[in-house]
Structure 1
Amino acid sequence: MAKDFPHPDPPPLGGGGDWSLSREAGEGRGPRSGKGGGNAPLLTIRAIDLYERPVRFVKPFRFGSVTVEAAPQAFVRALVHVDGVGEAWGGTAEMMMPKWFDKRPDRSPDETVDGLRRSLRLARDAYATDRADTAFGHHAAAYEIQRAACRAAGLPDLTAAYGPALIDKAVLDGLLRVLNTDFVTGMRTNRAGIDARLTPDLAGFDLDGFLAGLEPRPSVALRHTVGLLDEPVALRDLLARERLSRFKIKLAGDPSADLARLAEIAGVLDTAAGDYRATLDGNEQYADAAALAAFMDGLEREPALAGFRGRLLYIEQPVARERALGAPLGAVAERIPFIIDESDDGYDAFPRARAAGYRGVSSKSCKGLYKAVLNRARCAAWGAPHFVAAEDLTCQAGLAVQQDTALVALLGIADAERNGHQYGNGFDGAPEADAFLDAHPGFYTRRDGTVRLATAGGSLPTETLAVPGFASAAQPRWDRLSPLQNE
């Protein structure tokens, strides 16, 4: 049994403030494989605390066969210590979306959320060690332990990845605060110690050079999701208020019905969205490559979709995760790029998807920031046409959306799906709202009495995220959060 963490006194609670207890940088080298990680300090994780807060949506969000109207948001705090340098608390947050990580029909929505809670608790056990290592070294050491523990508990690998994904973000935040370093600088100098031990296909690839060569974007365009319950008339009204140019449209899996709905949406975009670009999300609803080919036939044949087809960038995860990587896409993959999302449940997923005809993979902080970075390195090693796209579930205002936006910008991705601002109600009365608004000008605005993302211009600035730590100069009110259920 993994040992329990000690629980030292927390730092002062509040909406802002500097958690760092020291301002000197440390050096070190953890065990590594491949070329990378040579500039990373060794750290110990002294505590991990788990919290949650309910989030009620302002409108139903339907993806695939699931409709969600509320879900809890998980919060994680980790105390990081670097010998001779100091220690600091780091934090993060992510939604616990029902029936996305685990879509098995015999699991209820509440059971799948409980699975995410269990993933967090098991990950806390997997990271419980007195051993000093790099931030990535702690992740790599816990990787198989977590997968084995979750499999023994009947949890799928995508659920298993959730707990480490949050702990890794909190640990990295704490480390960067100890070093008084912002996220982009810390990643470009590989202070996390990322190496190729979990991606043997990258052995010999210069990860340090790759990271140093990343050119973060000064802003990230918002890709607006049109959910299965969202009406085209609402999209037209939105475009009259906001300068959006990137769109993601959900598919339901019936080619004829999808094409008819798509023609309505395309009519709105063609007349109101200017020089737009779009993506399609199958959410695992298409049976196989033959069904996809039927959809593509209609997409290419329908006159009302001619303009839309020329602006379509890729199609995301059309086939169920259980079948997607075992059944090659075949000739349909030559007609449009396809990417995986729900199939991306481990470090071997992207190479397997590539062999099946997929050309891209999603970056989602809830699946793991290190995997996103290493998949981006694979694209650099493999060359065109491979790419990483930025997707999300519902990154809510605060730590979640800021950290994910910083990651997207670091990877050089031009736009990112953003759902939290339209399905959630901004900070929705959270006590830290004003602190985030003050700390990150241009990223948030106050509208209708609520602090929310500043979406009217169609993009989010990233300069305001260049602060010590992982992209946030404000913090949640940890004293106003509830402990993770079943603790």
Structure 2
Amino acid sequence: MPEAGGAPKLRVLAVDVFERPFRLRMPFRFGLHTLTQARQALVRVTIELEGGRVATGYSAEVLLPKWFDKRPEFTPEDNENQLRQSLRNAARAYMDERGKTAFGLFADTYRALMEAGAAADLPPLAAGYGAALLDRAIFDAICREWRVGFWDAMRHNLPGMKRHAVVADLDGFDVPLFLRELQPVRTLHARHTVGMLDPLDTSDTPAPDAPQDGLPVTLQDVIDTYGNTYFKLKLCGEADRDIARLVDIARVLDRLPSPYVATLDGNEQYADAQSLVEFCRRMEATPALRRLQASTLFIEQPIARTRAMDVPVDAIAAFKPLLLDESDGTLETFPRGKARGYQGVSSKSCKGFYKSLVNRARCAQWNLEAGRPMYFMSAEDLIIQPGISLQQDLALASLLGIDHIERNGHHYVDRFAATPQAEARALAAAHPDLYNASPAPALKIHRGCIDVDSCGLAEGFGTAVVPETNHAADLSWQA
């Protein structure tokens, strides 16, 4: 491993993308969109390191429609093409650079990629998607070549993170010391997503096409099977419907004899701050929601990204802290949100792991200045599929010190549905703490928790298993 301060320099030789289609086992309603099928992008990046050594790394992420760009004039297919364009933009920009560290490659191309995205009418979230996948694949290649796990690689600052103009607010912050002092959380609470169409218990009329695969379907099934005590509850943006839905959910959650924890996800559905204040007042005034309200940690992105920063949100934050998610399209978002009264920001691997680390450093700095833990990060999901995508996301959240993480990909999709069987078996064998091997490989959640040691310690970013990229890929192309 290089000496401290000696992060390896590299150039990108090739970027290949493979796509794996999959169907959901039950529909997932978030915001105004109901998802029934999707595609996962699997990225392979080949790099050349100093001295001529060649290494290969991987990353994966769902090409999720109606999240990166929710404009109604764009179809789901349009949204997928936007993300493919973002991958091509990032590949061209990265292959034009030479002799950069992994972080230097990200930071030095960041503004140009944001501008290229804007020129192609890509929202900032979509514009950053390509770099987010390439950065993970590049760092995976470095970890594999040095035969080191993600946690140790970050502790030794193998990406070469340091002060840079794109994060000028951290000029006085000791980034290498910050990385050395991070303490990974080895066991994470799985925060189960309750979508707006999800049945809650046996009192709900089963859908005619409800899955018959032996996996949990209702919220009560999930609790009985996995033992979850952390939950993420989707809102629709209409106070009457949201209060009624939360009362129904509370009827199930309040049966738990032990404490539970909840977060509320607005998915940009509330029109403005005042309508959300009214919702919060009604929630506080509803007796059936007393325990749920007391158990709620924060409200995630309730206002549309185009209006989220228009006015201060202190009146809402007086009820519960607010967290930025869809608004978090650029490196400048969290400081802007802080000035408006937002206290939290999400870590999502599709938004880039360097952005997550930068925002975690900001939380550390701001909390030190405030003299108390005001600012925080959460870990959120994007229908993340088992395998390298899930494992990179878990390794990152653990390193950030976040002890609970939204998990929904294992619930809405049948286990390793997008993964070739041989690869699934190899992953289950290499990560017995994370997956059950039989009757079919599947994410292991025990007493509501996920063990993530093997994700952070494996020789690679999340895993040493090499994903299959030949006949199992439905579509392959070079970025």
The two structures have a TM-score, normalised by structure 2, of 0.92
Runs (4+) off by over 3 Å: 482-487
Q: Is the counterpart of residue 187 in structure 1 residue 154 in structure 2?
A: yes
For residue 445 of structure 1, what is the amino acid of its counterpart? Answer: N
List runs of 5+ in structure 2 lacking aligned partners: 202-217, 368-372
Please give the secondary structure, in 2, of the residue aligned with 1:119: helix
How far is 1:259 from its partner? 0.7
Could you say what secondary structure the match of 1:232 adopts? coil
**What is the alpha-carbon distance in structure 1 between the residues aligned to residue 270 and residue 317 of structure 2?**
14
Which of 442, 466, 477 pairs up with 1:452?
442
Once residues 72 and 228 of structure 2 are traced to their aligned partners in structure 1, the CA distance between those partners, rounded to angstroms, is 36
Residue aligning to 1:468: 459
Report the secondary structure of 1:41's partner residue: coil
Q: Which residue of the other structure, out of 185, 190, 210, is the alignment partner of 1:222? A: 190
Structural mapping, 1:309-388, within 5 Å: 309-383=293-367, 384-388=373-377
| Aligned-residue offset at 1:85 | 7.4
Shift of 1:482: 3.7
Q: Letter of the aligned partner of 1:405 in structure 2?
A: L
* 2:40 pairs with 1:73: yes
**Alpha-carbon offset, residue 478 of structure 1:** 1.2
What is the DSSP-based 3-state SS (H/G/I as helix, E as strand, rest coil) of the residue aligned with 1:322? coil
CA pair 468-446 structure 1, distance change in 2 beyond 3 A: closer
Matched, 1:40 2:7: yes
Quote the residue 1:162 is aligned against. Answer: 129
Structure 1 contact 26–84 (Cα < 8 Å) conserved: no
SS in structure 2 of the partner of residue 382 of structure 1: helix
Residue 343 of structure 1 aligns to a residue in which SS? Answer: coil
Q: 1:451 is matched by which residue type in structure 2? A: P
Question: Secondary structure at the residue paired with 1:476?
Answer: coil
Unpaired runs of 5+ in structure 1?
1-24, 28-36
Once structures 1 and 2 are overlaid, which stretch shifts more, 141-150 or 112-121? 141-150
Match in the other structure for 1:34: none
Query: What one-letter code is carried by the residue in structure 2 that aligns with 1:471?
Result: G
Q: Once the two structures are superposed, what CA deviation does each residue of 1:204-228 show, in whole Å capped at 9, x if it has no partner?
A: 1011111111010111111000000
Amino acid in structure 1 at the alignment position of 2:425: D
Partner of 1:279: 263
Residue 284 of structure 2: aligned partner: 300
- Mark the CA change 1:100 to 1:155 in structure 2 (over 3 Å): closer, same or farther: same
Give the CA deviation at 1:189: 1.5
Deviations 1:443-466 (A, max 9, x none): 11145x431111243222121121
Quote the sequence identity (%). 44
Q: How far apart are the structure 1 equivalents of 2:478 and 2:167?
A: 35
**Whole-Å Cα distance in 1 between the matches of residues 97 and 192 of structure 2?**
44
CA distance in 1, matches of 2:292, 2:97: 55
Whole-angstrom CA distance in 2 between matches of 1:403 and 1:334: 35
**In structure 1, C-alpha distance between the alignment counterparts of 2:257 and 2:478, rounded to whole Å:** 47
**Worse-matched range after superposition: 40-49 or 332-341:** 40-49
Q: Distance in 1 between matches of 2:346 and 2:62?
A: 17
CA 1:64/1:162 → structure 2, altered by over 3 Å: closer, same or farther? same
Q: Amino acid of the residue matched to residue 439 of structure 1?
A: A
Mean Cα displacement is larger for which, 42-51 or 278-287? 42-51
Q: Which amino acid aligns with 1:481?
A: A
Corresponding residue pairs, total: 453
Q: Which residue of 2 aligns with 1:267?
A: 251
**Distance in 2 (alpha carbons) for counterparts of 1:136 and 1:398:** 24
If the length of structure 1 is used for normalisation, what is the TM-score? 0.90
Alignment equivalent of 1:411, drawn from 396, 400, 414:
400
Residue by residue over 1:158-183, the C-alpha shift from the partner in whole angstroms, topping out at 9 and shown as x without a partner, is 10010000000000000111222110
Q: 1-side partners of 2:266 and 2:152: how far apart?
A: 36
Deviations 1:24-76 (A, max 9, x none): x345xxxxxxxxx9341212222211111101110001001000001100011
Q: Which deviates further from its counterpart, 137-146 or 345-354?
A: 137-146
What's the offset of the Cα at 1:272? 2.8
Contact 1:360 1:387 in 2 (8 A): yes
Is the CA contact 1:75–1:92 (under 8 Å) kept in the aligned structure 2?
Answer: yes
Q: What is the Cα deviation at residue 274 of structure 1?
A: 2.4
